[in-house]
Amino acid sequence: MNSVSLIGTGNVAWNLAHAFHHAGIPINKIWSRTADHAVQLCQETSGMAVSHIHDLQEDPGLIMICVPDHAIAEVVQLCQTSGLKNPLICHTSGATPLDVFPAEWTMTGVFYPLQTLTKGHHRDFQDIPILLSSRSDEMNDKLSRLARQLSEKTTVVTDEARQRYHLAAVMVNNFVYHLCDQAFTQVETHRLDPRVLFPLLKETVEKLIHLRGDRVQTGPAIRGDVNSIHAHLRLLAGEPALAALYRQLSLSINPGLDL
Ligand SMILES: NC(=O)c1ccc[n+]([C@@H]2O[C@H](COP(=O)([O-])OP(=O)(O)OC[C@H]3O[C@@H](n4cnc5c(N)ncnc54)[C@H](OP(=O)(O)O)[C@@H]3O)[C@@H](O)[C@H]2O)c1
């Protein structure tokens, strides 16, 4: 297997299509629910846009389902009703288990790039961990050979391990992004400059990677500075949801706080 077809043209499909194209891995076909999106991505990379899933049937390579988790089962069913017989197929989700594929399909797997990917924003895959899962050594080998052409960090993991990494990834990326976005907005609302916080954000990541330990956390919660926390909560009086989050996180850092 040294070629791919893609189902979907969103954040992951767009980045994978560009990465495969860049690595010289042939893209056979691209299908998307909105036909124009597939045409557009084929123009940007390679491959042929197809209007029916059954057109993927004769492909020799791997079919990669890159649609939101809530749509994967629906797309798998569409593959079945479109007549795909025991395809070489995977999805790209950290959260969705392997059993989303029918048991009689023997060559199924997961190809999960553990990184935040956005359509239109190129990401070099070289340092992205790609977590692979499947039901057989043969499929793991096929997925590994493909993944290694994009990244130096490919690992075969169980369904459960991948789901745990995904849970952690949501906390590390989505929650941190959300919290920083809220913090920046809160500063901007008062006509202040969020860029003042950028060196702190960089140092926080550096500390997490290189220095993580018991004595690294700083701030009012770990010090037990309840007066500072109450002052912050007063500043957030007009934003009850953010105030509740602030209070909850402070208690998570220091459960002994009297708030
Ligand atoms: N984004 C990330 O950072 C990231 C990283 C690693 C793994 N993942 C996983 O990769 C998968 C795709 O994520 P994504 O961020 O690429 O999602 P996304 O951008 O929201 O995916 C959009 C694509 O899915 C298609 N689609 C949406 N609903 C559909 C449905 N009901 N039936 C058929 N096609 C449908 C859209 O079709 P049209 O627009 O053409 O209509 C579009 O091509 C998910 O399982 C996600 O967990 C995401």
User: What is the atom index within ligand 1 of the atom nearest the CA of 68?
Assistant: 44
**Atom nearest to 116 CA in ligand 1:** 3
Centre of ligand 1 from the C-alpha of residue 132, in Å: 18
Domains of the chain (ranges; CATH) run 4-157 (3.40.50.720), 164-253 (1.10.1040.20)
> pTM here?
0.96
> How far is residue 27's CA from residue 46's CA, in Å, rounded to a whole number?
6
Q: What is the whole-number distance in angstroms between the Cα of residue 192 and the centre of ligand 1?
A: 36
Helix (H, G, I), strand (E, B) or coil at 151: coil
Is 90 exceeded by the pLDDT of residue 210?
Answer: yes
Long-range contacts of 96-105 (CB under 8 A, 24+ apart): 96/69, 96/72, 97/159, 97/163, 98/133, 98/134, 98/135, 98/159, 100/72, 100/73, 100/76, 101/76, 102/76
Task: Please tell me what DSSP assigns to residue 118.
Answer: B
C-alpha distances out from residue 91 to 60, 165, 236, Å: 17, 16, 42
Give residue 131's pLDDT band: very low, low, confident or very high (50, 70, 90): very high
Residue with tokens 């009689």: 104
Residue nearest to atom 19 of ligand 1 (CA): 10
* Backbone torsion region of residue 162, taken as left when φ is above 0, otherwise alpha when ψ lies between -120 and 50, otherwise beta: alpha
The span from the CA of 164 to the CA of 97, in Å, is 12
The mean pLDDT of 95-102, rounded to a whole number, is: 98
Q: What is the mean pLDDT of residues 113-134?
A: 97
Ligand 1, atom 18: nearest CA belongs to which residue? 10
Residues with CB under 6 A from ligand 1: 8-13, 32-34, 37, 66-69, 71, 74-75, 92-95, 112-113, 116-117
Tokens of 18: 């560009």
* 6-15 pLDDT tens trace: 999 999 999 9
**pLDDT value, residue 2:** 84
Q: What is the pLDDT of residues 141-187, one digit of tens each?
A: 999 999 999 999 999 999 999 999 999 999 999 999 999 999 999 99
Amino acid at 195: R
Q: Report the distance separating Cα 190 and Cα 129, nearest Å.
A: 39
